[in-house]
Amino acid sequence: MRTLEPGGEQDFVIVTQHHKGPVVDAVFAETLGVRVTELHADTDQLGTFDGEIPRRDSPLATAVAKAQLGRNLGVARVLASEGTFSPHPGMPWITVNSEIIVALTDDLPSPVVGSAVSFDTVVVSRDVGVLDNVDEMASQAQFPDHSVLVKSMGVEPARVIKGINDADSLRRALTEICRWSPSGRARVESDLRAHHSRSRRLVIADAARDLARRLATPCPTCRLVGWGVSDSVRGAPCVDCGSATTAIRGEQWQCPHCHSTSTHVDAARTGDPSTCLRCNP
Ligand SMILES: [Zn+2]
Ligand SMILES: [Zn+2]
């Protein structure tokens, strides 16, 4: 583990093993005028994407635990991020990539959390044999901006080759791993570590932008920064009959420190009759 001395008092350090620093640094430099340097720590002890080490806590608790690694080393302003990938509840063929990034600092009592969600992160997952069409898979996986890992099937412990981002390396990895699998086939999955997925880095940047906005916004009650949207408010009036629908009419804002809230409703918003219980029971 190595500590980088940040240059300015307002600068942050991000605890990461997978080079998230440049992504968040670019956003924070542009929006807050502060820099972000990396603190390399063994964050894999808190869980990995490929399931080799299961994640025990929620993404938020895991991100806070990562940031705490930095705070324990005496760093004043620490960031850590955490991502999850899950099937869309209504459309399971779509993968939902959620990213959160937390800030823990010595002058704020609670973590401030930024988040972003995307349906566009490149995710592939297929069982393949040595003779399958590797070029087609390479184009689906979007090499070289994205990588895949190749995993043996039906043997414990599984053999895994990670960080593959060109067709020749994929061919070589398949030859090696398929030899190990009793079925002669292997599992090819996107390598979703941040430095191996450009589309995931874009979502991390969005989450960092959300966090930067909160870090620039003081709570109207306690004056500490972190004030931001915590939830959406439903009940926009039906365009046909005027009753409350399930459509969004505004947002709830909340302070992570004193927990005061305020509701912002857009009076111009209306709900489609399809979301109205009276018109469409
Ligand atoms: Zn407050
Ligand atoms: Zn209605």
Cα 214 to averaged position of ligand 1 atoms, centre (Å): 12
pTM of the model: 0.88
Cα 258 to averaged position of ligand 1 atoms, centre (Å): 4
Cβ–Cβ under 8 Å, residues 222 and 260: yes
Cα 71 to averaged position of ligand 1 atoms, centre (Å): 22
Confidence grade of residue 156 (pLDDT, cut at 50, 70, 90): confident
- Scan for tokens 């991390």, then name that residue: 204
Cα 30 to averaged position of ligand 2 atoms, centre (Å): 45
Dump pLDDT digits (tens) for 7-29.
Answer: 568 899 999 988 899 999 999 99
pLDDT of residue 131: 75
Cα 281 to averaged position of ligand 2 atoms, centre (Å): 9
**Phi, psi of 78, deg, nearest 5:** -125, 140
Cα 117 to averaged position of ligand 1 atoms, centre (Å): 26
User: With DSSP H G I counted as helix, E B as strand and the rest as coil, what are the percentages for the chain, rounded to 5?
Assistant: 25, 35, 40
Domain ranges of the chain: 12-118+198-211, 125-191, 229-275
Yes or no: is domain 12-118+198-211 CATH 3.90.950.10?
yes
Task: Give the closest ligand to the alpha carbon of residue 257.
Answer: 1
Distance of CA 135 to the CA centre of its chain: 29
Cα 39 to averaged position of ligand 1 atoms, centre (Å): 29
pLDDT at position 6 over 60: no
